[in-house]
Structure 1
Amino acid sequence: FYPVLVEQEKNIHLNQDEDIALYGDADKLSKVFSNVIKNAISYSKDHTDINIDVHSTHDDVIIKVINKGKEIPQEKLNRIFENFYRLDSARTSRTGGSGLGLAIAKEIVELHHGSIFASSDKEETVFTITLPKN
């Protein structure tokens, strides 16, 4: 992500608990994180930070990807995990994604018996991924 971050004058900050262990398919989970982080970069305002918070509970690992950008209306929040759905219909596959990234992320998370959802307000958009430790 470095070239895009530099170009848009953005930074990513990772805040995490120590000693977090998560068992799962590393290749598939890396696609989840890649898709969600790409989305955060694409839809955040220039010159802003993207925060990734990783915390552990007794049973789960909770990952939050937080970016500053336009508020996503509730009716669109309910659809962003659908195949081929794009927030901005003006985006093309050259300037944006195919509309599959978040749908793929959701499918992989659910295959790991986890959940993914998004919330948004005027200040920030938060993607929350919850995965069981075992």
Structure 2
Amino acid sequence: LMFRRAVSNLLSNALDHATVGSDVELRTYQAEGYVVVEVTNKGQPIPPEHVEKIFDRFYRLNASRQGSAKNTGLGLAIVKSIMESHRGKVDVMSQRDNTTFALYFPRLA
């Protein structure tokens, strides 16, 4: 249930921020002791000064969304909490017109 919530939050964000008519990609693979789930969208990159803050509770990149009931600034904080509870981690890479969020779940031995 928590896995679905984390992926759902990332997919929802990707769809909200993707360039109209572009694809959102969902990819899984194994790497260095982890099973990785990636969600990638094409669109405006996240400015570097915001990357570390986006996982903070109630942090919103776009201040013009302050009145929106849909965007509470909790989605990525929830994703981070879920990953920590699974002893995993979440990472983001955003440059040019691609943003990728990666969920790293530790592989069982």
TM-score above 0.5: yes
Within the candidate set 56, 62, 67, 2:41 is matched to 67
Identity score, percent:
34
Structure 1 residue 59, shift from structure 2 partner: 2.6
Which residue of 1 is the match for residue 15 of structure 2? Answer: 41
Rounded Cα–Cα distance in structure 1 between residues aligned with 2:25 and 2:15? 11
- Asked if 1:123 is matched to 2:97, the reply is yes
* TM-score, normalised by the number of residues in structure 1: 0.75
Rounded Cα–Cα distance in structure 2 between residues aligned with 1:75 and 1:81? 13
Rounded Cα–Cα distance in structure 1 between residues aligned with 2:31 and 2:18? 28
Structure 1 residue 58, shift from structure 2 partner: 6.2
1:36-77 residue CA offsets vs partner (Å, 9 max, x unmatched): 111111111110000111002363101111100101111111
Rounded Cα–Cα distance in structure 2 between residues aligned with 1:82 and 1:108? 13
Aligned length: 107
CA RMSD, Structure 1 to Structure 2 (Å): 1.3
Rounded Cα–Cα distance in structure 2 between residues aligned with 1:102 and 1:119? 14
Structure 1 runs (4+) greater than 2 angstroms displaced: none
* TM-score, normalised by the number of residues in structure 2: 0.91
Which residue of 2 is the match for residue 90 of structure 1? Answer: 64
Unaligned runs of 5+ in 2: none
Larger radius of gyration: 1
Unaligned runs of 5+ in 1: 1-26
Report the 3-state secondary structure (helix = DSSP H, G, I; strand = E; otherwise coil) of the residue aligned with 1:80. Answer: coil
Rounded Cα–Cα distance in structure 1 between residues aligned with 2:43 and 2:105? 26
